A and B are shown apart, each in its own frame.
Chain A
């Protein structure tokens, strides 16, 4: 994985980058998961793609996969869950959460590369750091700025999404570890 940085992208790297961008899009087609009844908002499986790209492909390729995905959304392809796309969504209230995806994947990949022997718990923590902490650290100030809300109120709104994101962290960790076992040389 560390060799990709030094020798540029091989055919296989380009294919994997495109694949995980497409995977993130395809995950947007899965019906949102409802849990805890109506008490919590339904969660879309889409940000699972972010976590998987980072945890499976590593920093550079994972980050580029999501950069490609966001680029395709920006040019007007309806790839976000619910068939949304275009500049409007990226500039809207949740724009910060979306635009930071490449960085989230990069950071998850970076942490995994620094600790290749990470067990399930540690992997989960890395995924949670990139997929929740970093994402919220960008998304909440953006929302506060766009809606002139102030950080506390924006944070309060987003608290309802945290349980769903934790579920995704667990799923991403299980799937990423499974894929790594199935394809050790990815």
Chain B
């Protein structure tokens, strides 16, 4: 249930105002646009990474704006992609001479609107590239990776792209590294309860007591399969069985790990689950690298969690370790 709002129609605008009021030390409002930009953006000679998508996923997407991470986030209404007009305005505000990289989860609404904005920016002489995040293994089979949707893997791709941009890499290189990060990232999730849009009285979907949905989306899209509820250790195995089967062909033995809460799953439950995830990773001969157990891409008040693995090499590890500051993630 979403309880705190005034007019549901103003939800996005009011959350942007409040976010900027709270985190003005890191971000500022993009004038006349639904988005926020880093206080140090744009920087001459440095690529600006622009992320975005619907609201309802905090800290995606505004929580990742700040030095060393995204230059800006374009914010749509709850679960709706931002319009091409808003993407264009935000791009104009942060475009530097080094160009712009769009980075967002692969959903048809986001693709349509970011693509339209990209064409318009290119007509105006701004070099814009796009890397779509496609980490959710539940959304399309192997061999059709480019059709998959983006969920919590957004975080690793944004972090790596932002670090490459901050270090001064050229646009070609930032694009290559973001793509490489995406190619090495896989996620799979489970849901125990639905989420409710602001102003609505009923959830988008429900999960029957004692059951769980596998392969859910982060917009309340139902899962691909339903199962009886299982103990945490079996859920850990289920998540890892799915991800390890889908490991990239050049997978190494070090993985960045994100156990992501979807909005109303208790942190301590997630630590219980992480204990078993950690055990299983080690048993598989994998080394978890600086694991994160946190809410990084949520779905309003959905109950559930997802597990993301990003198979690392030296190049990606250095970027993951680079300093950054944002409302949701700071690394110093």
A is bound by B: no
Chain B positions within 8 Å of A, measured between CB atoms, are none
